[in-house]
């Protein structure tokens, strides 16, 4: 590992931090240290980073803005690649938009609304990055990324760069082929928007933001929706009907505003959240014979 880090520093690939607490890089403010966290300063430098990771056979993991993510208290072995300032480019050509994997999804939705471009209003309150949104097919308010994405530039572990079409990404509910079938890093994404009325677009976005503020615990650290909706049921409704809102284990608590959110009361550990997730799974199955599956991605040492 030392030799790898030495070479990365010589190449000046970007910011490199050792034993970096991932609680600083997740929206739920939980997570043990990464052996090394690297924030590449460009697409070229993330390619160099991946090349050396492959050369030395080191474990790796990519993250964006850390939403929809629960990192174990023991942290992550190897290297965590964070997509940030070096991969936040934006290019707008008429109704076609290309955004870097590290670009804020909320910022993108706001920027496009001001230009009268419609299609991303649903994302006005999703606190993730473009890369993460493509990776998990993020969605809300009846829409999702698959509805507007035309293609994405993916860096695979073998070093290959490839543009994958919407079809090739194999989108489904909160998933894409990048999660298990073809692990890779979203470096850039191209979206097809439509021209619309600025005032109408802004009004829809504000309505979506207001709805989130009224129904979700935006003022507490959380990871977003914890469970996938076990259709035709809704996770939050099942949890509420089971009387579990407000239930806590350690510093983790099921939000009293929305049953499908677990909040960090200030001193929560990943273990608390995991115990609470299991408690909900057991209770919902006991009461309704419905199996709950997590939407939040759980990663790190066990």
Q: Are residues 31 and 94 in the same domain?
A: no
Q: Specify the CATH number for the domain of residue 115.
A: 3.30.465.10
Of the residues 214, 232, 249, the one at which a domain ends? 214
Q: Are residues 101 and 177 in the same domain?
A: yes
Of the residues 165, 196, 214, the one at which a domain ends? 214
Q: Are residues 22 and 11 in the same domain?
A: yes
* pLDDT for the residue 209: 86
Strand ranges for the chain from DSSP E = 14-21, 33-40, 60-63, 69-71, 76-82, 90-93, 96-100, 117-118, 139-140, 143-144, 149-156, 161-165, 184-192, 194-195, 248-249, 252-254, 262-264, 297-299
| 96-100: strand order across its sheet | 90-93, 96-100, 184-192, 149-156, 161-165
* pLDDT for the residue 213: 86
* pLDDT for the residue 142: 87
Q: Which residues form the domain of 12? A: 2-85
Domain count, the chain: 3
Q: Are residues 102 and 209 in the same domain?
A: yes
* pLDDT for the residue 29: 97
Q: Are residues 248 and 197 in the same domain?
A: no
What is the set of active-site residues?
Answer: 174, 225, 295
Q: Are residues 95 and 185 in the same domain?
A: yes
Q: Are residues 153 and 200 in the same domain?
A: yes
Q: How far apart are CA 155 and CA 182, in angstroms?
A: 10
Of the residues 214, 249, 275, the one at which a domain ends? 214
Q: Are residues 52 and 117 in the same domain?
A: no
Provide the b/e sequence for 32-46 (b: ≥16 CB within 10 Å): bbbbbbbbbbebebb
Q: Are residues 154 and 266 in the same domain?
A: no
Q: Are residues 204 and 227 in the same domain?
A: no
Q: How far apart are CA 238 and CA 227, in angstroms?
A: 11
pTM of the predicted model as reported, rounded to 2 decimal places: 0.90
* pLDDT for the residue 1: 85
Q: Are residues 179 and 288 in the same domain?
A: no
Q: Are residues 230 and 160 in the same domain?
A: no
Q: Specify the CATH number for the domain of residue 255.
A: 3.90.78.10
* Tens place of pLDDT per residue across the chain (302 aa): 889 999 999 999 999 999 999 999 999 999 999 999 999 999 999 999 999 999 999 999 999 999 999 999 999 999 999 998 889 999 999 999 999 999 999 999 999 999 999 999 999 888 889 999 999 999 888 899 999 999 999 999 888 999 999 999 999 988 999 988 898 999 999 999 999 999 999 999 999 888 888 888 888 999 999 999 999 999 999 999 999 999 999 999 999 999 999 999 989 999 999 999 999 999 999 999 999 999 999 999 98
Distances 263 to 129, 269, 270, 286 between C-alpha atoms, Å: 21, 11, 11, 24
Q: Specify the CATH number for the domain of residue 38.
A: 3.30.43.10
| Residue 290: other Cβ atoms inside 10 A | 12
Q: How far apart are CA 177 and CA 92, in angstroms?
A: 27
* pLDDT for the residue 185: 95
- The helix-helix angle for 105-114 and 198-215 (nearest 10°) equals 150
Residue with tokens 């959380």: 222
Which among 125, 298, 176 is positioned nearest to 226, based on CA atoms? 298
Tell me the two tokens of residue 244: 């579990």
């Amino acid at each position: 590992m030392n030799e790898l880090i030495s070479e990365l520093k010589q190449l000046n690939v970007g910011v490199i931090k050792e034993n970096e607490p991932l609680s600083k890089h997740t929206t739920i403010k939980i997570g043990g240290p990464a052996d090394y966290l690297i924030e590449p300063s460009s697409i070229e430098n993330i390619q160099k980073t991946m090349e050396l990771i492959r050369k030395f056979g080191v474990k790796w993991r990519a993250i964006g803005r850390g939403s929809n993510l629960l990192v174990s208290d023991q942290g992550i072995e190897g290297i965590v690649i964070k997509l940030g300032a070096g991969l936040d480019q934006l290019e707008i050509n008429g109704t076609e938009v290309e955004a870097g994997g590290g670009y804020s999804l909320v910022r993108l939705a706001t920027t496009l609304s001001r230009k009268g471009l419609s299609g991303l209003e649903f994302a006005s309150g999703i606190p993730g990055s473009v890369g993460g949104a493509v990776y998990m097919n993020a969605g809300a308010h009846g829409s999702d990324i698959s509805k507007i994405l035309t293609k994405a530039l993916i860096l695979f572990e073998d070093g290959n760069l490839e543009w994958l079409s919407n079809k090739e990404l194999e989108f489904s509910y909160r998933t894409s082929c990048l999660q298990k079938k073809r692990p890779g890093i979203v470096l850039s994404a191209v979206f097809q928007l439509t021209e619309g009325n600025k005032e109408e677009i802004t009004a829809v976005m504000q309505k979506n933001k207001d709805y989130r503020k009224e129904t979700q615990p935006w003022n507490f650290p959380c990871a977003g929706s914890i469970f996938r909706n076990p259709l035709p049921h809704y996770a939050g409704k099942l949890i509420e009907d089971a009387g579990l809102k407000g239930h806590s284990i350690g510093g983790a608590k099921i939000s009293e505003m929305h049953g499908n959110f677990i909040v960090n009361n200030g001193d929560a550990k990943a273990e608390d959240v995991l115990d609470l997730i299991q408690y909900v799974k057991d209770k919902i199955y006991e009461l309704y014979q419905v199996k709950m599956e997590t939407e939040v991605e759980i990663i790190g040492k066990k």
